[in-house]
Amino acid sequence: MPVLFCIENNGYGLSTPPTSEQYNCENLADRALGYGMESHIIDGNNIVEVYTKISSILNDIRENPKPVLIEFKTFRRRGHEEASGTKYVPDELLNYWEQRDPLTRFEQYLLNQDLISIEDIEKWSTHYKEEINDGLDIAFAKALPQSTSRIELADVFAPHDHINEIASDDITNIRLVDAIKDGLEESMDRYDNLVIMGQDVAEYGGVFKITDGFVEKFGRDRVRNTPICESAIVEAAMGLSIAGMKAIVEMQFADFVSSGFNPIVNYLAKSYYRWNQKADIVIRMPCGAGVGAGPFHSQSNESWFYTIPGLKIVYPAFPADAKGLLTASIEEPNPVLFFEHKALYRSVYGDVPQGYYNLPLGKAATVHEGNELTIITYGAGVHWAKKLIDEMQYDIDLIDLRTLAPLDKESIIASVHKTGKVIVLTEDNLTGSVAADIAGFIGEECFEYLDAPVRRVGSLDTPIPFEKGLENNYLPTSRLKVCVKELLDY
């Protein structure tokens, strides 16, 4: 690719010299060897050299596309920021670079070429100092920004009006994994600017075979394998969004998102609030325990992102919901984390409408109606609770949240008002979980309607074990049964 990678080597990180303490090389340009790249070292304080050499290199890579690394040798004579100062810099080094100031060097070059005069310099200096000072006076005279909490909250997400696409009456009974595949395929047909990217998603079809056959139908331009570098995948997706495209990123397992955590929470989530740039990206998150995959391939890690303003979180439990919520997530101009429980992929079947349809984000579903107790949950927890209700014939209101952000608070409040007792169930370990936040919200908003303490049920505060018996003990299913009986008898 014709990409120019530029290092402005100003001698220090904050206070640490890069070549003597950070990298074992004489010049940072030497690192290009490890990437098989061409590299050049340029005097970054020589304006003429920078212009002429960069122009020559750019002309070359336009004709012969290739990546090139440039190291500009320069220096920072002030602190990394104003508070740090330059006490760590030897005086002789500061003096050396002061003699090589790019402005005074270029000024002398122009004088030597008889292109300007001393009088010109004095005139321009006076003019621009006045212009700068006038600008500062205007800036400092401006009032500080004024806002309200309502305005600030409205600035977190790019505006999006959900237009309901009605589901077809033609249905087919399929698995959750098939519904997700259908949702992806329908969306790829609908949006010709939509790209799917991730590790092994092309010819291999992804480790769960959800994109199997997509290369043949949509081509390698739209179904792209990526390096094993989650941060780079997320950032490339953001680049596509900035260019007016849509991107779906598949995390091979939700656990691996930790390697892409920074661009998700500090870039995607904040881009609209900071500079009105939408992040039109869906990150698919195969997650969950129950398949004996151990601590690095089994986490239900939605709580990592639940605290971050600017992210939408979807977590379906049924095939029809998975398809409709996935298409709606792809319609969104905002970043969506779409959690897909691996243990439900091929074990849960349901009637799913054929063709394109969508479901609004932020709307919970009542899976079972009852009056004695409310269970609020999502994902695999819905199936655990439903199985218990069916077996024991309990009079329980079962609320499937479906999306965690936005959270359907109205449905939660209505159910708690009706039953007066509530369990918040999560597969995640309990401490710091989404269940903890929802329980806190219920305590604040519904206290007068409660007939018993709000109970949280979740997995153990341990990593997820491999061995099936230990994994079963880790998960909260047995503890849910005990908690339901205790609350019903309270």
pLDDT of residue 18: 77
Predicted pLDDT of residue 322: 98
| One domain for residues 137 and 180 | no
Position 470 scores a pLDDT of 96
Answer yes or no: 297 catalytic.
yes
How many angstroms separate the most distant Cα atoms in the chain? 96
- Six-digit token string for 270: 């904040």
pLDDT for 144 equals 86
Final residue belonging to a domain, choices 49, 84, 100: 100
Distances in Å between the Cα of 241 and the Cα atoms of 236, 280, 312, 343 are 9, 5, 16, 32
pLDDT of residue 355: 96
So what's the pLDDT on residue 83?
84
Do 213 and 337 have their domain in common?
yes
**pLDDT score for 272:** 97
Q: Are 241 and 281 in contact (CB under 8 A)?
A: yes
Structure token pair of residue 197: 């990217």
Residue 333: the pLDDT is 97
Range of the domain at 347: 171-353
75, 100, 125 - which closes a domain = 100
Output the pLDDT for position 461: 95
Instruction: Enumerate residues 6+ apart whose C-beta is below 8 A from 172.
Output: 351, 352, 354
- Are residues 308 and 183 part of one domain? yes
Q: Is residue 358 part of a domain?
A: no
Q: What is the pLDDT of residue 81?
A: 86
- CA pair distance 93, 290, nearest whole angstrom: 61
| Together in a domain, 347 and 375 | no
292 backbone φψ class: left, alpha, beta (φ>0; ψ -120 to 50):
left
pLDDT at 94: 93
Task: Supply the pLDDT for residue 14.
Answer: 85
In 89-229, where does DSSP find H-type helix?
A: 91-98, 102-112, 118-141, 149-154, 176-190, 214-218
pTM of the entire structure?
Answer: 0.88
Percent of the chain with pLDDT over 70: 100
Cβ atoms of 42 and 72 within 8 Å: the answer is yes
Residue of 90, 50, 84, 86 lying closest to 70 (CA atoms)? 50
User: Across the 490 residues of the chain, what is the mean pLDDT of every consecutive 10-residue run?
Assistant: 94 84 89 95 97 97 97 93 88 94 94 96 96 94 89 95 94 98 98 97 96 97 95 96 97 96 97 97 97 94 97 98 98 98 97 97 98 97 97 95 98 98 97 96 97 97 95 95 96
d(CA 189, CA 222): 11
Residues 96, 191 within the same domain = no
Q: Are residues 112 and 91 in the same domain?
A: no
Asked if residue 88 and residue 183 are part of one domain, the reply reads: no
Number of domains present in the structure of the chain: 4
86 backbone dihedrals φ, ψ, rounded to 5°: -135, 30
Tokens (6 digits) for 105: 């060097």
For residue 365, give every residue at least 6 positions away whose Cβ sits within 8 Å of its Cβ, in sequence order, or none: 321, 399, 400, 402
Question: Could you tell me if 253 and 319 lie in one domain?
Answer: yes
> Pick the catalytic residue: 127, 162, 297, 368?
297
Evaluate whether residue 131 is within a structural domain: yes
Of the candidates 431, 429, 395, which has an alpha carbon nearest to the alpha carbon of residue 415? 395
